[in-house]
């Protein structure tokens, strides 16, 4: 569970950082919120992150658009069932395509775009009760490391944005950043992200 959490978390963090480079306005808004909450403290505490509403919107939108695992762990039906006109026999192995669900234009407005604001005042969450955002699974087969993974990712994002500004090493515009995906067990960037960290001087 620990090793699995490391791989998916690092993949998610690379994607969200790439989205920050492509959307400077999102980055600036997130940094303003984080730096306002942290103030003059030398480190970010758990209580601080609970006050960062926009950060949580960013994390949910990143996980919607870039789920680290495009297919959930396979399930097996325990009984025969008719679903949407299809007869599914008992003991059938079933794969849930999270990637397709979370980019479905019937569910999401402008599904291919990174829009954290869509989660403002939106109760949809990835705790297993909302099937339009089901990347951690649900029920008894839900990911046991969800709390650990979410806490780690939010903490790292907050620290990256609080203490540093980020730039591409070249003069290329962030909107031109290569976002090609490579599908494996986890979906990662084909071209690894390379950035320059500039310590915040404010």
Residue 91 is assigned to a structural domain of this protein: no
Residue 75 is assigned to a structural domain of this protein: no
Residue 150 is assigned to a structural domain of this protein: yes
| Partners of 75 in the β-ladder | 94
Is residue 143 part of an annotated ligand binding site?
Answer: yes
Domain of 150: which CATH number? 1.10.630.10
pLDDT in the model for residue 137? 82
Measured CA to CA, the distance from residue 130 to residue 31 in angstroms comes to 29
State the DSSP H helix or E strand holding residue 87, giving kind and residue range, or none if neither.
strand 86-88
Residue 116 is assigned to a structural domain of this protein: yes
Residue 58 is assigned to a structural domain of this protein: yes
Please check the confidence at residue 1 and state whether its pLDDT lies above 60: no
Nearest to residue 19, comparing CAs of 174, 158, 156, 157? 174
pLDDT > 90: what percent of the chain? 59
Q: At what angle do helices 146-163 and 2-22 cross, to 10 degrees?
A: 40
Please check the confidence at residue 202 and state whether its pLDDT lies above 80: no
pLDDT digits (tens, 9 = 90+) for 112-150: 999 999 999 888 887 777 888 888 887 777 787 788 888
Residue 74 is assigned to a structural domain of this protein: no
Residue 6 is assigned to a structural domain of this protein: yes
pLDDT in the model for residue 26? 96
Range of the domain at 117: 2-69+102-199
Residue 38 is assigned to a structural domain of this protein: yes
Domain count, the chain: 1
What is the band of 5 on the pLDDT scale with cuts at 50, 70, 90? low
Task: State the CB neighbour count (10 A cutoff) for residue 160.
Answer: 19
Measured CA to CA, the distance from residue 165 to residue 168 in angstroms comes to 11
Task: State the CB neighbour count (10 A cutoff) for residue 199.
Answer: 7
């Amino acid at each position: 569970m620990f090793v699995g959490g490391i791989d998916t978390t690092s993949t998610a963090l690379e994607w969200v950082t790439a989205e920050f480079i492509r959307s400077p306005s999102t980055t600036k808004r997130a940094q303003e919120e984080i730096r306002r909450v942290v103030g003059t403290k030398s480190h970010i505490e758990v209580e601080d992150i609970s006050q960062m509403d926009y950060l949580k919107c960013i994390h949910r939108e990143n996980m919607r658009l870039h789920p680290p695992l495009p297919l959930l762990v396979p399930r097996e039906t325990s009984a025969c069932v008719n679903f949407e006109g299809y007869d599914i026999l008992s003991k059938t192995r079933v794969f849930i395509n999270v990637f397709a669900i979370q980019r479905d234009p019937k569910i999401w407005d402008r599904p291919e775009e990174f829009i954290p604001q869509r989660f403002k005042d939106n109760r949809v969450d990835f705790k297993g009760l909302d099937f339009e955002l089901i990347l951690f699974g649900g029920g008894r087969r839900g990911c046991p490391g969800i709390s650990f993974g979410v806490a780690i990712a939010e903490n790292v994002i907050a620290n990256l944005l609080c203490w540093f500004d980020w730039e591409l090493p070249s003069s290329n515009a962030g909107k031109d950043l290569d976002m090609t995906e490579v599908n494996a067990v986890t979906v990662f960037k084909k071209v690894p992200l390379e950035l320059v960290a500039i310590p915040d001087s404010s």
